[in-house]
Amino acid sequence: MQKRMDMVNGSLGDKIIKYTIPLAVTGILQQLFNAADLAVVGQFAGKEAMAAVGSNAPVIGLLVNLFVGISLGSNVIIARSIGQEDNEKISKAVHTSVLVALLGGLFLAVLGEFLAPGIVKLLEIPEDVYPLAVKYLRIYLAGMPVILLYNFESAIFRSCGNTQTPLIALVISGILNVILNLFFVLGFGMDVDGVATATVLSNLISSVILFAALMKTKLAIRMDPRRLHIHGDVLGQILRIGIPAGVQGMIFSFANIIIQSAVNSLGTTVMAASSAAYNLEIFAFYIMNSFGQACTTFVGQNYGAGKNDRCRKTLKLCLLQSLICTMTASGLILLFSHTLLGIFNTDPDVIATGRIRLEYIFAAYLFSFMQEGLSGYLRGFGVSFIPAVCSVIGICGVRLTWIFTVFRNAPSFTTIMQVYPLSLGITAVVILIVTLCVRPSQRYNIQNSR
């Protein structure tokens, strides 16, 4: 029988670790979908196909992040309602979230099929890569309903402290993804269309597994397909938290698209190297991000229960544990970087350029762990607009300004990478100052959310 983690009583440190480990592994496995795509096409279809898959990552993030942000709003509202022991509101939020995921996914799938060629053109992708990039994006976007459904279902399980069930679903679908990649590319001679199809089918399996689990669970998050309905009052609360987070993610992805365009202008080798390094650095990021999400959920439940002292203790523990775990992962990746980058492509120039990206990104993570943790802390109280504004200005503003000024005068890959530690350092300082000044546990009353 599934049990809800008791976040509002007892020790915190061990529970945060127990919560974050499956969550981090889940994020890493999700990224392995794309990493497997890159590795297969890089080894068996050439670096043009590899560049086509990697260059689509910012575009996909731009389209997906709005709804992923809304799923974060679902997480906060359900976690808060669990702390308040409001089962009726939990049920409304669950059924509203699932339906929003399905409808939002259908919208993105239809829209993406029409806009894919124009979107890829904005990336200034070389002529030899362009057709492959369009083909990959179209197939990937066709799978948006099941991709978003999995993310919303995972947020529902996380809200009650269950990070194991989404992990189990992803392990199954992840193994299937690798098998299907090889089956389509080696067995049928497909290229980017094969790996994109494998990714969509794998997400279909994981979303169906979680859908069934939600129907069978004995917890308050139980779902009944006959009760799928958008409850306006609950949706409004979800959107107030989720839209700022989603818009932040969209703007963040837009900035990354501009950066990707700058990377693309430096040639196919740099594109392939940047894609390979991204698929390594993201492992450390998901470890760091899992502590931010843990902070949101633990703070949400304890705030709902009126235990503000545990909210502050949660923040301190999440920041400390995040720093230790993220830096350990970053160090290991750097130590074995040449071998790991060689998995994607054995070209010495690709490996050397990828190493440059890893060094700058991991230096930036010394600031990013604070930005993730403090943002998660504020969102746990339902304060989503403030961290969104800080991140948009501090990260996106600095990066866009840098690309259109410094990079334009000194167009090199190193110049691009220098903006990451700069932008994240500025943002971390700003969010720290804002967090100390806002004091959300005193300013925002839980009764206002009812």
Its pTM stands at 0.78
pLDDT for the residue 439 = 61
pLDDT at 450: 37
The per-residue pLDDT for range 287-339, each reduced to its tens digit, is: 998 998 899 889 888 888 888 889 889 999 999 999 999 999 999 999 999 99
Confidence of residue 29 (pLDDT cuts 50, 70, 90): confident
Residue spans of the domains in the chain: they are 13-449
pLDDT at 216 over 50: yes
- pLDDT tens digits for 231-275? 988 888 888 888 888 887 777 777 777 888 888 888 888 888 888
pLDDT tens digit sequence for 89-106: 889 999 999 999 999 889
Share of the chain above pLDDT 70, in %: 93
Q: What separation, in Å, do the N-terminal and C-terminal C-alpha atoms of the chain show? A: 30
pLDDT at res. 445: 41
User: Which pLDDT score, from 0 to 100, does residue 448 have?
Assistant: 41
